[in-house]
Structure 1
Amino acid sequence: MNEAQAPIPKPRSDLGIRTLSGVVMMLVAAGAIWIGGPVFAIFIALITVGLLFEWTKLVLELTPNPVARFFWILGGLAYVGLATAFLVFLREFAEIYILLGLIGLVISTDTGAYFAGRTFGGPKIAPAISPSKTWSGLLGGMTASALFLSILGHNTEGFALWQPLTGAGLAVVAQAGDFFESWMKRRAGVKDSGNLIPGHGGLLDRADGLVAVLCMTALLVVILQMTGQP
């Protein structure tokens, strides 16, 4: 067989390293949340600093305008700050299963979207922003999140219709957070927000959906409190 006929080698899959680093991240996060106290405080501080650092790096590549940079960075402080502050609030003043449930919901969304997208494919949602995201993946993520929250609710407070509806809705929020960060990266001309996590990129690449879900949940809690709902 001559060189012209030689098959082109397929790129090596990074699924193994992605899985391993994902498991390690989950163990570290779950351990810090479960232990609480100073360990959790240090963990949150490091995560917050890391997210804001990567956000700022993206902003500096996204626009050369100093005024625009200022407002983008200010927005990042509010966005990331609200998410991490709500994370602390949930750990200190709510049942721990609520916090772990939100994290599990985002993982369920990502997992359901990944496998549904790979299995069914189909039309892309916004190929100019995120070429790999499909409508079938979104529906898979919504289904997985709805099932996860239903099972969690059944085993903690008893099943209620709001659980799968909330799960599906927050799955859309998680995917929106993913799209938003992808849009920022496209504008900035970079593939990943960083290279801290093997196979995943940066912290913001891994936590974009969770940050969006935490912010939305925090706003919903505030609205329910203001309207006098339980």
Structure 2
Amino acid sequence: MVLVKPLSTPMAASTTLSCFEGSTIMDTTLYRSTVGSLQYLSLIRPDVSFVVNKVSQFMQDPRNTHWSAVKCIMCYLKSTISHTFCIHRNSSKQLTAFSDSDWASCPDDKRSMSGYCVLGKNILSRSSKKQPTLSRSSTEAEYKAIANASAELVWIQTLLGELGQEQLTNILAKPLTSARFILLKSNLNIQLPTSSLPTSSLRGRIGSNDLSTSDQAKVIELD
């Protein structure tokens, strides 16, 4: 793969993969190990999530057409080897979700592909997979993709809310579990003092030598 020609896309738009087309490859272990490595790579390269999901569907019986698709992915990665997944710092809690589907895109079982991504300043969540059930129309396939994206969006909003400061008042309003209480207590800055911080103590005793003669007389009168 060192001398191969780089490609600008990981898969051609006209590519259709089937589990019945092509001849079975001899080295199935190489195919499975290569695709397995691409699955790990897709965690930091969302641009290959769809194509890696496609070639992952033929692990049980890879054909030469599937191996050719894997080679195209490798050629694309060679041309973008310096690209990486960038994360930007941002305090905004505004989220945006996008979804899409490809109706009956699988030639074998006629199931649709769906994908979504949830964005803040960065990609927080994404998915690209075949829908578990058949869709009677492209509209139904789109609604299924929207439902998956909406469920993920609600879950992320709930998670961010639990991690945010608006949940800090729970410690003041109701009893909590030990783990939850300790977490919120740390957000209140209730902790052991360090050696660098000044500490004070209210404990001690007042000796008679610490009082003046007039003050000692007043203490005697009070007694």
Q: Higher helix proportion, which one? A: 1
What TM-score do the two structures reach when normalised by structure 1?
Answer: 0.22
Task: Report 1 or 2 for greater relative contact order, CA contacts < 8 Å, sequence distance ≥ 6.
Answer: 1
What TM-score do the two structures reach when normalised by structure 2?
Answer: 0.23
Q: Higher strand proportion, which one? A: 2
